[in-house]
Structure 1
Amino acid sequence: MAPSATETLTSTLHTLNLRPEADKPKSAPKGTSAEPAGKRNKPRWFSETAKDGDAYPYERYLPFFDADLKLPPLEPFEHIDPGHQALQDPAPRAFLDGAEVDDLTPEFGSEVEGIQLHELDARGRQQLALYVAQRGVVVFRDQDFADQSPEWMINDWCSFFGRPHIHPCSGAPKGYPEFHLVYRDSKAVFNYETDTHLTSSVVHSDVTYEQQPPGLTALFLFDSPASGGDTGYYDQRAAYKHLSPSFRGYLETLQVVHSGVEQAEFSRRGNRGGIVKREPVENVHPLVRRHPVTGEKALFVNPQFSRSIVGLKKEESDAILGLLYAHIKAGSDFQVRLRHRPRSVILWDNRITAHTAIVDFAAGGARRHGARLTPQAERPFL
């Protein structure tokens, strides 16, 4: 059983600047560098620079499991994606002016340097929503995002893109349940990770069991190993397009049951932090969904939450879902693996993108600690 929050969080919380002093560039005499060549001004994870006795600067964001928090069922709401406004913009990528953009593949995944997400105005955020919908997943480097207050992250940033989702089972910083935390170190694992399979990969889209699953999602790490702990992303649009036209046509007639029951029962057995903040739900979604802004079609199945195809016998349903899961996971021509360099923010569109954490650092006992902001979007449709 995973350690309890009390066992894990024993240190006193501090009011801290969220950017470690060790990460700030050091001044040096003219013509010299404060660090060896190739490492000049390079941000570091806290675990790379910490000395015995150093206070962890992101302690306020460690997982807290509130057993007293009981949430009512989620109510439907109207969602209008901000990317719609960018479609009418004469310069829909103006927010990238002056930025350096590296497309990781022709159609999927990009890396951006030279802009600050927290400085974007409403127009810039609308353009961002469209851009991420088009590219699927985008990593923004050298961000001051984690330096902003948690209130800003939730009420200003996340709320702009949809209704902030509170995960029914995960840990969150005390007082901020809208954060979904990912955490693993040598003593604690607070995510759905087991060592009972040949690989740690669990390809999924987030909380698809909700009636209105997430749209534009943000993930950023506070601390991570010097290497490893990356995230793999999968383009569900390309996975759909790679199928034969006749098979695509059949899949478009199908609906799938998505369930949160197994995840909740996993927590009730004492895993994660042993809490269930909201009773689990099941919802039926189309197997193929359409993006509300771009109009593109994408597969909308994942082995973590998809359970069965409505109207098919078990063997038929299992055969089709198994084929699709294997196809998505094996499609190296529509995947990217993104490295979580310090002060990076990864944004992806959860409607058209699947992902998995890559737990290749566990043997060394290193810490991987991050947060996800998860705005709910519209109900899936075709």
Structure 2
Amino acid sequence: MPSATSTETLAEKTSKLSLNKTIVKDENKYSTVGTYKANKFATRVLGDDGILRLTDEEAADIKYPDYAPTWDTNEHGEPYQEFEFHDRGLDADPSLKNLFPTDGSFSKEELTPKFGTEVKGIQLSQLSNSAKDELALFVAQRGVVVFRDQDLAAKGPKFNHEFGEYFGPLHIHPASGAPEGYSTLHLVYRSTEVKPNEAILKNHGSTVAFHSDVSYEKQPPSITFLAHLEGPTSGGDTVFVDSVTAYERLSPQFQQIIERLHAVHSGFEQAENSRKNGGITRREPVANVHPVVRTNQLTGKKAIYVNRQFTRDIVDLKKEESDAILNFLYDHLFSSIDLHVRVKWEENTVVVWDNRITSHTALLDWDTPLRRHLYRLASRAEVPYLEKQK
């Protein structure tokens, strides 16, 4: 855990980084019923109940209307408070006999020798509690698991909320759209109105943006489900990186160096970006310090825990030293394609990963205005920690 000195350094560095600034809210932004444009999402209409919804035209042909994104401007809360987390994987039978029956009614294929598995013939919605426990353990062991031909989406938001809650309190994203009444379901939504990559490629040469989901939280998620609703038949893949093997490939001497370090992860920029693009902020943004290397409590393995989207500074070092180490780790993680798994989305696909040991990026590589619509369930987990070798 970070020392008192690290906490003091965080205060100093957040001041330099302007992480402690207040996100200014425009009280008149949504003061009248009307139509509002959000650059990255879609044209939305504000109802007299304070909820932003898609226009009737945009929503008319959504395949799963129960998952249509809404943004409730009435939602305002405080940052999450720390809680005691129990990982369901700790209750799992190591044989995984409940998850993978012995009757041979399923198929399981490794995507790479160490990282990633694709499974067919197992229905997530029908898992017993014992099988869910084993799923949590299996996902921690394999990093990312792709399940095909799932019926979770057809079960509706209420079923999915209850399903996800089994693994732990579901994270509510501070800014994203959600099905009406179910803010625990984070929606990934790209409209048919705009080219998916136009805004990004205007200023960047690539749409790649590796990240570990909401790593700025005090207790970021562990097991995470991302379910496909709609998307292009070609393009829109998701790439995952094996942060465990990335750590293991480092020299022992360098492992020892980075194991002593802690980094700031900030959600302030995401909140500000949401505000600028006509979005909402459900909670005040936070920044937290996490170890650069963290332990997965289910496997005991260590993983590099930094990402370009949310990691800002190593608090134990000077700026130039911090930049040098972070840039090296970013290049090591995100340029080493032999650490990566690329998942192609198909109808009724659900991808499950352990957010503690992998980062990922969507690839916005299709040019035509086609809808991309997915939903995510992410269970909040333990405060990241590094278990020292005995």
TM-score (norm 1): 0.84
Instruction: Work out which of the residue numbers 187, 190, 201 in structure 2 matches 1:184.
Output: 190
Q: Paired residue for 1:95?
A: 99
Q: Paired residue for 2:248?
A: 241
For 2:370, the aligned partner's letter is A
Is 2:121 the counterpart of 1:114? yes
Q: Paired residue for 1:310?
A: 315
Is 2:138 the counterpart of 1:134? no
Q: Any unmatched runs of 5+ in structure 2?
A: 1-37, 47-52
CA contact (8 A) 1:257 1:307 kept: yes
Instruction: Work out which of the residue numbers 119, 122, 125 in structure 1 matches 2:132.
Output: 125
For 2:356, the aligned partner's letter is R
CA contact (8 A) 1:183 1:189 kept: no
Instruction: Work out which of the residue numbers 326, 330, 343 in structure 1 matches 2:348.
Output: 343
CA contact (8 A) 2:194 2:369 kept: no
CA contact (8 A) 2:221 2:378 kept: yes
CA contact (8 A) 1:215 1:350 kept: yes
1:104/1:90 Cα in 2 relative to 1: closer, same or farther (>3 Å)? Answer: closer
Q: Paired residue for 2:289?
A: 284
Tell me how far apart the structure 1 counterparts of residues 196 and 274 of structure 2 sit (CA, whole Å): 10
1:306/1:113 Cα in 2 relative to 1: closer, same or farther (>3 Å)? Answer: same
Matches within 5 A, 1:1-382: 1-2=38-39, 3-6=42-45, 9-11=54-56, 55-86=61-92, 89=93, 91-97=95-101, 98-155=105-162, 157-188=163-194, 194-195=200-201, 196-269=203-276, 271=277, 273-361=278-366, 363-382=367-386
- SS of the aligned residue for 2:71 comes to coil
1:90/1:368 Cα in 2 relative to 1: closer, same or farther (>3 Å)? Answer: closer
> Residue 360 of structure 1: CA displacement?
0.7
Tell me how far apart the structure 2 counterparts of residues 201 and 257 of structure 1 sit (CA, whole Å): 22
- SS of the aligned residue for 1:226 comes to coil
1:82/1:305 Cα in 2 relative to 1: closer, same or farther (>3 Å)? Answer: same
Tell me how far apart the structure 2 counterparts of residues 348 and 167 of structure 1 sit (CA, whole Å): 17
CA contact (8 A) 2:109 2:117 kept: yes
Q: Calculate the aligned-residue CA RMSD, in Å.
A: 2.0
Tell me how far apart the structure 1 counterparts of residues 74 and 355 of structure 2 sit (CA, whole Å): 30
> Residue 191 of structure 1: CA displacement?
11
Q: May I ask how many residue pairs the two structures share in their alignment? A: 337
For 2:325, the aligned partner's letter is I
Tell me how far apart the structure 1 counterparts of residues 55 and 136 of structure 2 sit (CA, whole Å): 39
Identity %: 47
